[in-house]
Amino acid sequence: MISQSAIDTLRKTEIGARGLFIDGVQIEATSGASLPVTSPIDGRPFASIADGNAADIDRAVKSARKAFEKGSWSRSAPAFRKKVLTKFAELVEKHADELAVLGVRDNGTEIGMAYKAEPLSAAGTIRYYAEAIDKVYGEIAPTADNVLGLIHKEPLGVVGVIVPWNFPLMIGAWKIAPALAAGNCVVVKPPEIASLTLLRLAELASEAGLPAGVLNVVTGRGSVTGEALGLHMDVDAIAFTGSGPVGRRLLEYSARSNLKRAFLELGGKSPNIVFADAPDLKQAAVVSANGIFRNSGQVCVAGSRLLVQASVYDRFMDELVAATTQLKVGDPLDLASDIGAVSSAEQLDKNLGFVTRATEEGARLVSGKRILTETGGSYMAPTIFENVTQDMQLAREEVFGPVLGVMRFETEEEAVRLANSTVYGLASAVWTANLSTAHRMVRAINAGVVHVNTYGGADITVPLGGVKQSGFGRDKSLHALEKYLELKTAWIAL
């Protein structure tokens, strides 16, 4: 684990101006323009990134296509790709302290979570797909004796990756690692408010031996560079994590351009369901509090809707409030902080708008709303509302902040109805000691992930993705490789 002394030293590091990473080198944007990088910790700028445009995206895609056609990566032996990616993972681990602190300065995630969830998680993901790629076999079809049917698995080509600002390294690795392992070349569009770690990641990939042009990073505004990537005629697939409206635009861009594949992991309004027979109500309350409030609620699978069976409601709420009050909001680069900063002043304003609307619609504020402003950064205390009804905005729309809506339910059937009553279907949880209840709920809840007697913690071995308007396509696990491989049939007459 990183030490406080290492954190204090690294937080003083001068970053300066960062360029685009194209064809293995750092270069300026075509326009020469840049964007300031303002830390949510104190509201002060501490670096700048290149403000890329459509011409820069085109440069990056051309570099990726040239590298792909050259074949030094795309047609290399899987064992070679494994060797390079393993070295890549080792370098990410070696620079974990640097990457973690850099990321926290950029997006405000508390360092304890960031260290594990960003560089260490990314290194583990890269290593996982490095180990997997030389174990992917083609197939021989069951045919008549006079025919040989072969099914080859080949890389798609150029893959565009667009990731969000909450966990850019972790989520970026979920897409970049399997795409590279499969032999593709990649163009990454990082979030404009959290680009620094992905630029550093590309440098480490190059140091590990990744050929020039195989991994490119173009920073800039989503409305410019993201749109250009989505509309580019020579991008074969887009892998995206982010909001529903942007996901819809990427589908539109696919239709308007070359019908590129679009893999979308979108929003969530995940139900966390506590039955009266939960094995340990106190533990459930502690985990539930962390499941919504860590990283200031800026987690796509956050358990933002809490459904509690009426017979234990009051007791559980007491435990929940007690657990929540134990969470310390403060400087995300202080190991004593449990919750760091909200990613930006704009996001904080959005969160407070949800709080105002919930109050106006009749929900009761149990705790929270307080903003910590002494540092000049963006902070918000964990906020809990009860008496929430399904017609309220807080029950229907994703906040992406530390705001929890609590509802009561009487029966299992009512819990299922409430759980499935939004347009989302990303994650969920069920707390019960009854095995039959657990299995029934796993089947009945419309979500890509159903936790039982826990919330969060699923590792790289299982897929993550949603149903309904939470998107489609899966990150993580061996199934993610399927997205980045093309099937080609060879039908040979003997």
Q: Are 179 and 85 in contact (CB under 8 A)?
A: no
Amino acid at 21: F
Q: Are 197 and 18 in contact (CB under 8 A)?
A: no
Count of other CB atoms within 10 angstroms of residue 38: 18
Q: Are 218 and 56 in contact (CB under 8 A)?
A: yes
Query: 349: Cβ–Cβ under 8 A, 6 or more apart, which residues?
Result: none
User: In this structure, what is the dihedral angle of CA atoms 62, 68, 73, 78, given to the nearest 10 degrees?
Assistant: 140
Phi, psi of 35 (to 5 degrees): -120, 140
Paired with 25 in beta bridges are: 22
CA dist 413 and 397 (Å) reads 23
Count of other CB atoms within 10 angstroms of residue 173: 32
* Paired tokens of 490: 């060879």
> Which residues of 371-417 form beta strands (DSSP E)?
383-386, 403-409
Phi, psi of 444 (to 5 degrees): -85, -30
Query: 140: Cβ–Cβ under 8 A, 6 or more apart, which residues?
Result: 148, 149, 150, 151
Q: Nearest 5 degrees, angle CA 60-CA 36-CA 111?
A: 95
Q: Which of 110, 118, 185, 300 is catalytic?
A: 300
Tell me if residue 319 is catalytic.
no
User: In this structure, what is the dihedral angle of CA atoms 200, 40, 223, 201, given to the nearest 10 degrees?
Assistant: 10
Tell me if residue 69 is catalytic.
no
Closest CA to 39 of 196, 241, 226, 202: 196
Phi, psi of 279 (to 5 degrees): -55, -35
Rg over alpha carbons for the chain, rounded to the nearest Å, is: 23
Q: Are 403 and 297 in contact (CB under 8 A)?
A: yes
Q: Which of 265, 319, 398, 412 is catalytic?
A: 265
Amino acid at 46: F
Among all chains, which residue has been given the structure tokens 């003083």?
Answer: 12
Query: 395: Cβ–Cβ under 8 A, 6 or more apart, which residues?
Result: 269, 305, 388, 389, 405, 407, 421, 422
Enzyme catalytic residues: 265, 300
